[in-house]
Structure 1
């Protein structure tokens, strides 16, 4: 853009009255009274008089003749009012279009979440969101953390939740909760009666029943056992937490799962939690979004709802989302 064009743009902004002033002028023309126009627009009469005088100074024109019988437009004021009407109508069309775009954005929310978050935390958050936004249609894609990142980067989701040890590349994030992973076995497994904790090195060399590569649980376990030689080849590799739990309950072998996911089975003694030592099995649960595009509209509202404490058996929440 040329300097001359930029200069005209700046001077135009300095010389053309703002929309509030133009709306006041239109009201005076319609009602024939400055006081009536002020009441209609919800401002005081002195403020209305000041606004008219400001417009007159800016334009260098007398716009309104005031008398005890009321206010009438000057010839220049009548002409300016005709121009003002077009500007205000254009502004109203602009506002209506922007509102329509906001409405289209706010009418839907696409969420992608890792399975643990989707099953154990997200339902409560979505119920709370519906109370505040009953007309927002929510769709949920549940999978592993890698899938969540792919959906966000492809603009196929508005907000995501992951449970891996790090923020996926290209995404901004806020920690919304913490979760603990636990070693579990079926009631008949030899470890169920074990009195001493399982050392990290032994856990690393034991074939486990695991989720598929790309799952947040698998990523956390890989990172935690890396100093101890890494994970042994899986005994079984399954695509869902439910399938993993069923295999462990049947006695097929041990697994490492979210404490959120096994609360019911532990309470019913279908699974037994085995203590471990020498390894930290905790992880952050994060909300994620494309870098530079912090959530807006219903996605922003859902993110704010993660600040609420969980119900019984939930993960220990942070005091609020914090940047990761």
Structure 2
């Protein structure tokens, strides 16, 4: 970075724009708001550019401010990655990986792949955080995490998809449900006759359902909206209604027979994907790259057909 771009001033600018106000940034950094305001003003004076717009409630980045914040994030990530690679050259085996993922990946990740990876790399530490699809994409694009595990992300020029596997959305029902006795793929409009629980709109599963509704010109009215797959599992298990999820997200329930995953005859629902994402252009440290490749090859979510919707055999009369 040029000496003109003072690191501390860029840090203040980053936090103020990220949090949307000088006061919030001051609280996060434990400094006086006037300090942040003055440092941003000095940066603007040195560059001859306006970096933030003062609004009635907070601030907003100008085009120049947004560019600086993006470059600052990349610089921070590159600096951390460089330090990690230098440690690798020193022969140090320790490493750390930050992962952000949708809740549906947790059971799959914990059921074996993570343990096998730690057997090979016992000194590696990790941090996991759960988030909806939109937040996973933003968090990875902003270099807050090395890797994201996300269901059906939309196109975003800031991210690269390292691995993708088709994982259709299934109708999740209790075993023996009337729909399971049809012995054929379901039609989306058939679900409208049953109480439904769905994820909130910021989640990939709900977004793909919305696309399917539009394509078929129908409107599903969920009885329950939630941010938790666990809540949806219990909603179905308790006989309160049905839900729509990829089969890998409830693999343990399918294995013990407490839930069934039925295919739906719909192009949008059949083409959804589970993805591993990174920030476009970021060269991951060795530990993060090793983990990315391992999970891509070991998790059910990234193995097509490993946990798919199943058409039940029609019961004989």
Band the TM-score falls in, shorter-chain normalisation: 0.5 to 0.7
CA distance in 2, matches of 1:284, 1:245: 21
Query: Which residue of 1 is the match for residue 239 of structure 2?
Result: 251
Q: Does 1:117 align with 2:76?
A: no
1:61-100 equivalences in 2 (<5 Å):
99-100=86-87
CA distance in 1, matches of 2:217, 2:287: 44
1:127-162 deviations in Å (ceiling 9; x for gaps): 343234322211111222222123223322111111
Query: How many matched pairs?
Result: 221
Pair 1:137–1:218, CA change in 2 (3 A) = same
Q: Does 1:134 align with 2:122?
A: yes
User: When the two structures are superposed, what TM-score results if normalisation uses the length of structure 1?
Assistant: 0.58
CA distance in 2, matches of 1:293, 1:145: 20
1:1-324 equivalences in 2 (<5 Å):
99-100=86-87, 107-121=95-109, 124-187=112-175, 189-195=177-183, 197-203=185-191, 207-229=195-217, 231-279=219-267, 280-310=269-299, 314-315=300-301, 317=303
Larger Rg: 1
Q: Quick check: 1:165–1:220 contact (8 Å CA) kept in 2?
A: no
Question: Any stretches of 5+ residues in structure 1 without a counterpart?
Answer: 1-95, 319-324
Range moving further from structure 2, 135-144 or 122-131: 122-131
CA distance in 1, matches of 2:156, 2:137: 7
Shift of 1:290: 1.5
Q: Quick check: 2:105–2:301 contact (8 Å CA) kept in 1?
A: no
Q: Quick check: 1:171–1:290 contact (8 Å CA) kept in 2?
A: yes
Q: Quick check: 2:84–2:285 contact (8 Å CA) kept in 1?
A: no
Shift of 1:256: 1.0
Which one has the bigger strand percentage? 1
| SS across alignment from 1:118 | helix
Pair 1:301–1:252, CA change in 2 (3 A) = same
CA distance in 2, matches of 1:284, 1:275: 15
Pair 1:208–1:102, CA change in 2 (3 A) = farther
1:186-205 deviations in Å (ceiling 9; x for gaps): 34754344455432333467
Question: Any stretches of 5+ residues in structure 2 without a counterpart?
Answer: 1-82, 305-317
Query: Which residue of 1 is the match for residue 7 of structure 2?
Result: none
Q: Quick check: 2:141–2:280 contact (8 Å CA) kept in 1?
A: no
| SS across alignment from 1:276 | coil
Range moving further from structure 2, 143-152 or 265-274: 265-274
CA distance in 2, matches of 1:316, 1:290: 19
Q: Quick check: 2:164–2:302 contact (8 Å CA) kept in 1?
A: no
1:38-71 deviations in Å (ceiling 9; x for gaps): xxxxxxxxxxxxxxxxxxxxxxxxxxxxxxxxxx
Select the structure with the greater relative contact order (CA < 8 A; seq sep ≥ 6): 2
| SS across alignment from 1:252 | coil
